[in-house]
Amino acid sequence: MRSTEIYEKNIENTRKDINEVNKGIDRVALLRGISFIVLIILGYQYFKKGSPIILGLSLVLIGVFIYLAITHTREKEKLRELELLISINDEHLRRAEGLWKDFSDKGEDFLKEDHPFTNDLDIFGESSLFQWINTTKTFYGRVALAKILSDSKLPTKSEVNKRQKSIRELADKLDFRQRLELIPLKHKSSIEKTENFLSWVKEENSWFLSSNVNLLRTIMPCISLITVLLIAFFKAPFSLFFLSLIINAGILSLKKKEIEKALEEIYSFKKNLAAYYEGIELIENQTFNEELNKSIKEKINSKDGVKASKEMKELSNIGELLFDRANMIYWLLNALLMWDFMLMARLEKWKVRNKDKVQNWLLALGDMEAYSSLSNVSYDKEHWVFPEILDEDIIEGEEIAHPLIIPQGVENSFNLNGELKTALITGSNMSGKSTFLRTIGINMILSYLGLPINGKSFKLGRMIPYTCMRTKDNLEERISSFYAEILRVKNIIEATKRGEKIFFLLDEIFKGTNSVDRHLGAEILIKQLMDKGAKGLVSTHDFELCDLEKEDRRIKNLHFREYYENNEIKFDYKLREGRSTTRNAVYLMKMAGIELLDKE
């Protein structure tokens, strides 16, 4: 069954479940209403007749009413989960059908101008790989996914194979992956930056664990409660109770700033903490067979036998005991029971136990979210193939297409093997040169991520793509587009000098200068890169550059072409051997209304 059919079936079944839950909610609401009315009648009868039987029935009915209220709340929560599941499956359906380009999170904040490939290969930003596959719902998951997608360190052949196995396994665990998405949504967990949470966890305050403080938080509430008993049974003055509250409040005020800072911090993370512990618990209870997935799970397994989810739930419970500290009820509770000291003691004990563990737990949760996002490609694109990583620095692709073009892009076969190191791509404007460079580049990235690629077959060695395609002026730093291009080229050259295995993708190199310098610079650069062991693709309008094929056996020419039909320009976007022999600039200028004079 295709992934789209499964998502549609999930939506259909979940809607049926929603109907049943709604019926149950209506029944519980009706019973609550009836029990409330009967309770009022019994109350009236009790006050009228004072029958102990009526009192007993009333107490039983109060218990029933509380039970129905709890059941009603649980059913409403279940209803919300089902509604969220529909939205999750609907989003997956849109993703599988290619309707993902309106997803709001595009990952633009992860773009870096000096990165080897993320800007030019649409890893982040508008219509990007991140926008397509991202299903992370926590800060740690989002950051983990971005880190994996932008990793410019070449993985080993073994690491790629492990990623492929991990992704295949996770792709088959659709229920697990959707539950991982559901949990943060259910708790309305924020995806905002939370690095300060980890630093806060490591900030200890042993004062709250000292024996004197332990004595105070035990004795002072007891004194307050004793004053209540004295007032109730021995008619002691009410001022005695107020005095005890004032003394307790005075003691609490000694550490007011420290308490407020710590408790306000945990209060701000309440929703996140609930999502974290349930997500970690979900991973703990899941069985994995593949090494990479097991290693992620291993990060949350405690050597002392205490479950990470149990510890995170304890922290979440502390957060749940907090509410508006400016509230009068909280002030009374605090002054009566030394509530803040009690919470701070629990919190500090938790920090002592877990301060060195919690980061690994949250990073593991993030890694699992990230690889679950990657597995969307494998699950939704069942006709795509996993590439083969070779020991040689070659590329052989059969019927390769761009994975982000919707509908399916044009397929082209391509190889750069043996002594060949560079392919010069020529062709007229809009014929497909730049798109082809990106097609090869992004399929290389998918390959190293352990993902299937959009093609019939793909074999490649381990070479990191370095691109120089989109360059623009930076007025703030007073950088012209040409100088920006120079900086990108410099990065590529420096990478080759460091001994990195480079696959360069150069689009209309040195287009910001005159034709003589452009030709000379491109020729020297290509030879220099090849001499350093790099391979790659260069698109160009400089037909003279194609003459390099005759003098250097490491270079070959490929081209795209246009054709005309009913006086309209057409493109088939098919890659062909040899250099281009056509031009369309004059035609396009005439289309723009430029009146060109024919030369005699």
pLDDT more than 90, % of the chain = 57
69-73, 113-117, 168-172: which is most confident: 168-172
Residue from 179, 366, 148 nearest 278 by CA: 179
> ∠ at Cα 379 (190, 398), nearest 5°?
125
Per-residue model confidence as pLDDT tens digits over 499-526: 999 999 999 888 777 788 888 999 999 9
Per-residue model confidence as pLDDT tens digits over 437-465: 999 999 999 999 999 999 999 999 999 99
CB atoms within 10 A of CB 566: 5
Residues sharing a CB contact under 8 Å with residue 41, sequence separation 6 or more, in sequence order? none
Question: In this model, does residue 478 exceed pLDDT 50?
Answer: no
Phi, psi of 186 (to 5 degrees): -60, -40
Q: How confident is the model at residue 392 (pLDDT cuts 50, 70, 90)?
A: very high
Token pair listed for 101:
């380009």
Residue from 352, 320, 376 nearest 136 by CA: 376
* Cα 351 to Cα 200: distance, rounded to the nearest angstrom: 9
* Cα 562 to Cα 427: distance, rounded to the nearest angstrom: 8
Per-residue model confidence as pLDDT tens digits over 325-343: 666 777 788 788 888 888 8
> ∠ at Cα 477 (475, 481), nearest 5°?
60
Per-residue model confidence as pLDDT tens digits over 75-85: 999 999 999 99
pLDDT at 590: 65
Question: In this model, does residue 480 exceed pLDDT 70?
Answer: no
Question: In this model, does residue 205 exceed pLDDT 50?
Answer: yes
Long-range CB contacts (within 8 A, 24+) of 22-29: 22/79, 24/75, 25/72, 25/75, 25/76, 25/79, 28/68, 28/71, 28/72, 28/75, 29/72
Domain coordinates of the chain in residue numbers?
1-97, 182-380, 388-592
Per-residue model confidence as pLDDT tens digits over 525-540: 999 999 999 999 999 9
* SS3 label, residue 291: helix
402 with 414: CB under 8 angstroms?
Answer: no
Token pair listed for 416:
């750069």
- The neighbouring-strand residues paired with 252 are none
Token pair listed for 497:
């000098």
* Cα 335 to Cα 231: distance, rounded to the nearest angstrom: 18
* SS3 label, residue 504: strand
Distances in Å between the Cα of 71 and the Cα atoms of 35, 66, 360 are 14, 9, 37
Residues sharing a CB contact under 8 Å with residue 414, sequence separation 6 or more, in sequence order? 395, 396, 397, 400, 423, 436, 440, 558, 575
Token pair listed for 374:
């990657």
Question: In this model, does residue 479 exceed pLDDT 70?
Answer: no
Q: How confident is the model at residue 229 (pLDDT cuts 50, 70, 90)?
A: confident
| DSSP string of 313-361, one letter each residue | HHHHHHHHT---TTSHHHHHHHHHHTHHHHHHHHHHHHHHHHTTTHHHH
Token pair listed for 168:
């295949």
- Based on its alpha-carbon atoms, the radius of gyration of the chain, rounded to whole angstroms, reads 33
- The average pLDDT across 40-49 equals 80
| DSSP string of 173-202, one letter each residue | -HHHHHHHHHHHHHTT---S--HHHHHHHT
Question: In this model, does residue 124 exceed pLDDT 70?
Answer: yes
Q: Is 378 exposed, middle or buried (0-12, 13-18, 19+ CB in 10 A)?
A: buried
113-117, 175-179, 429-433: which is most confident: 175-179
Per-residue model confidence as pLDDT tens digits over 565-574: 777 788 899 9
* Cα 305 to Cα 346: distance, rounded to the nearest angstrom: 20
Question: In this model, does residue 217 exceed pLDDT 90?
Answer: no
Q: Pairing relation of β-strands 464-468 and 388-389? A: unpaired
Name which residue leads in pLDDT, 242 or 463: 463
- The average pLDDT across 47-72 equals 85
* SS3 label, residue 61: helix
Q: Pairing relation of β-strands 502-507 and 562-565? A: unpaired
Question: In this model, does residue 248 exceed pLDDT 70?
Answer: yes
Among 55-69, 243-257, 405-419, 455-469, which is the least confidently predicted range? 243-257
pLDDT at 212: 81
CATH of 388-592, one of 1.10.3720.10, 3.40.50.300, 3.30.1600.10, 1.20.1370.20: 3.40.50.300
Phi, psi of 514 (to 5 degrees): -70, 165
Name which residue leads in pLDDT, 320 or 124: 124
Distances in Å between the Cα of 26 and the Cα atoms of 17, 32, 38, 77 are 14, 10, 18, 14
